[in-house]
Amino acid sequence: MNWNVYITLLQRVGDSFAQGIWAFVALPTYIWLIENHSNKAVGYAQGIQGFAMAAVAVPASLMADRTRRDMVLRLFAFVGLGGCVAFLGAVYIGKQPLSLLHIKTDTKLVAICGASALWGIYTAAQPVVESIFADSVPTGARIGLYSTFTALTRVAICFGPLGAALMFWWSGNVWEVHVIEQIMLVGVGLSAVSILPMFVFNDDKTLGADSDAYQELLTIQEEEDEPVSPRWRVLRGHITTNSIPWLLAGSDIIIGLASGMTLKFIPIFLLQACALDPITVNIYTFISPLLIAAIMFSLPPIAKTLGRVQVLLLLKCLGVGLLYWMALIPSIWKRPLLIMSVSLARMAFMNSGYPIQKSILMDYVPRSTRARWNSVDTFMNFAWSGSAVVGGFLIDSAGFRITFFITAAMQTISLVFLFALLPVVPVKQSYSIRSRRATQHGSRRGTQHGQGDTGRCFTMDELDALTEALLAQEPRSAHRISEPC
């Protein structure tokens, strides 16, 4: 396995474990408690993190596409370490009244918001990490590796809440500020350690042309026996493979705007509306990534049979349907086992399709623009974080039920973008490949004799095997587009 793949795995697994301790349950409940049960304060901190992330994401991605990505990552690693120091300082600082821009606040909330801004800048580097990871994985081998990679990070996330649950158990299983501060100190310290691998990424160990997008390597064709309805033929006149990244981005941004209004407040929902204790909430957060990982591991063979977009749509529809159930039948909130089961299933369906979506994106964008397209994830996080401000106000004024319903309605709109992918991302694909030598010599002979260049067609499984063979025999071979089979 490539060096950068190992480093990405080490960094992301360590970061996921550490943030599982402090960022998902401890931080929002800590803010909620010290700010007199204010959801608005939680929204402010999350929104500032999102704004900082969005402000830096595009410049960072453009820089990474124009210069060495490993140098960009080292710069952001220093910012991340600064964010960790700022969070530790925010825990220790005293709470004093403060007026900032005619807004009444306090020193502790301002310190947390400042630390969140630094952390947002640091997380803007994650698209660059994913780009150097994609550059280090052969084309055609991404869906399996993305699924494994994402599932392992989800498993790492779950052990963070498990550690937090043990600390709550040791402290009496109560929602108390001093207990959460201890959890914050441990989690943020581990986050600082997880940043260190970012200093050893190496651009010289990427695969170059062997990781190019399909458009740069080969021609993608549907199987001849795959039925194409007249309706799809009409859509194909307007939607091409060049539309795929834009459709995925549109879906992501709408889902980010919708999910931000509720996701950051789920621990508070379980605490306030469902009256669950700290250990139960952390066990919920422990189970969630495990369930997501289990579904992720099962998806690649299903996606190869049913189609990647088809599976992605099925998962999203199930997740949105369960959120409608949570919104329309609030009586289940007082039944802990049922509400936790429904919420966990919804979370799993909505998030387990991520590696499939990422594999589609990386297979259809050129290597030279991957960092820019990966920055769309940061915009989704910005939308997710920015809408948390709206979510805080909405929950305080209208309650969780209305907020859940609005979230589900917006997620329903996002499905339109995924449906538009059906005519351009086939269920089964075949590929025509020819080497540089064939491009330079064979096509010239074909032109002289009035014949087009012919290439061999490959299925997805055959392409995976061929890619491994080509890498073993000629690691830096460059392939060019061939005519349709």
Distance CA 210, CA 208 (A): 6
User: What 3-state class would DSSP assign to 213?
Assistant: coil
Average pLDDT over residues 463-485: 42
Among candidate residues 247, 249, 256, 230, the one with its CA nearest the CA of residue 421: 247
pTM of the shown model? 0.72
Number of C-beta neighbours around residue 340 at 10 A: 20
Among candidate residues 324, 302, 321, 322, the one with its CA nearest the CA of residue 312: 302
Distance CA 353, CA 295 (A): 9
Distance CA 36, CA 341 (A): 30
In terms of residues, how long is the chain? 485
Residue with tokens 């025509």: 432
Tell me which of 374 and 109 has the higher pLDDT: 109
Among candidate residues 57, 75, 114, the one with its CA nearest the CA of residue 383: 57
Class of 3-419 in CATH: mainly alpha
Question: Out of 3-7, 50-54, 134-138, 464-468, which region has the weakest mean confidence (pLDDT)?
Answer: 464-468
Distance CA 263, CA 265 (A): 5
Among candidate residues 44, 70, 56, the one with its CA nearest the CA of residue 124: 56
Predicted local confidence at residue 375, as pLDDT: 62
Question: Domain limits of the chain?
Answer: 3-419, 429-481
Instruction: Give yes or no for residue 233 having a pLDDT over 50.
Output: no
Residue range 346-389, pLDDT digits in tens: 999 999 998 888 888 877 877 667 666 766 666 666 666 678 88
For the chain, what is the radius of gyration of the CA atoms?
Answer: 24
Predicted local confidence at residue 100, as pLDDT: 74
pLDDT band at 96 (very low <50, low <70, confident <90, very high): confident
Q: How far is the CA of 348 from the CAs of 158, 240, 296, 468, in angstroms?
A: 13, 30, 9, 32
For residues 397, 401, 405, 411, the Cα torsion angle rounded to the nearest 10 degrees is 90
Instruction: Give yes or no for residue 237 having a pLDDT over 70.
Output: no
Query: Any idea what DSSP says for residue 263?
Result: G
Distance CA 420, CA 209 (A): 30
The contacts of residue 180 (CB under 8 Å, 6+ apart) are 26, 29, 30, 33
User: What 3-state class would DSSP assign to 423?
Assistant: coil
Instruction: Give yes or no for residue 416 having a pLDDT over 70.
Output: yes
Among candidate residues 286, 274, 273, the one with its CA nearest the CA of residue 168: 286
> Residue 105 — φ and ψ, nearest 5°?
-145, -155
Instruction: Give yes or no for residue 226 having a pLDDT over 70.
Output: no
Instruction: Give yes or no for residue 32 having a pLDDT over 50.
Output: yes
Side chain identity at residue 16, one-letter code: S
Side chain identity at residue 212, one-letter code: D
Predicted local confidence at residue 349, as pLDDT: 96
Distance CA 320, CA 270 (A): 19
Side chain identity at residue 337, one-letter code: L
Structure tokens at 318: 């199930």
Structural contact between residues 260 and 387, judged by C-beta atoms closer than 8 angstroms: yes
pLDDT band at 405 (very low <50, low <70, confident <90, very high): very high
Average pLDDT over residues 147-162: 82
Distance CA 337, CA 350 (A): 20
Predicted local confidence at residue 108, as pLDDT: 93
Structure tokens at 372: 């820019």
Tell me which of 429 and 144 has the higher pLDDT: 144
Distance CA 51, CA 57 (A): 10
Distance CA 132, CA 127 (A): 9
User: What 3-state class would DSSP assign to 100?
Assistant: strand
Structural contact between residues 377 and 362, judged by C-beta atoms closer than 8 angstroms: no
Q: Is the dihedral of CA 431, 437, 441, 442 positive or negative?
A: negative
Instruction: Give yes or no for residue 432 having a pLDDT over 50.
Output: no
Average pLDDT over residues 87-105: 85
Structure tokens at 384: 């997710």
Structural contact between residues 456 and 482, judged by C-beta atoms closer than 8 angstroms: no
Predicted local confidence at residue 376, as pLDDT: 66
Predicted local confidence at residue 371, as pLDDT: 64
Percent of the chain scoring above 70 in pLDDT: 76
Instruction: Give yes or no for residue 232 having a pLDDT over 70.
Output: no
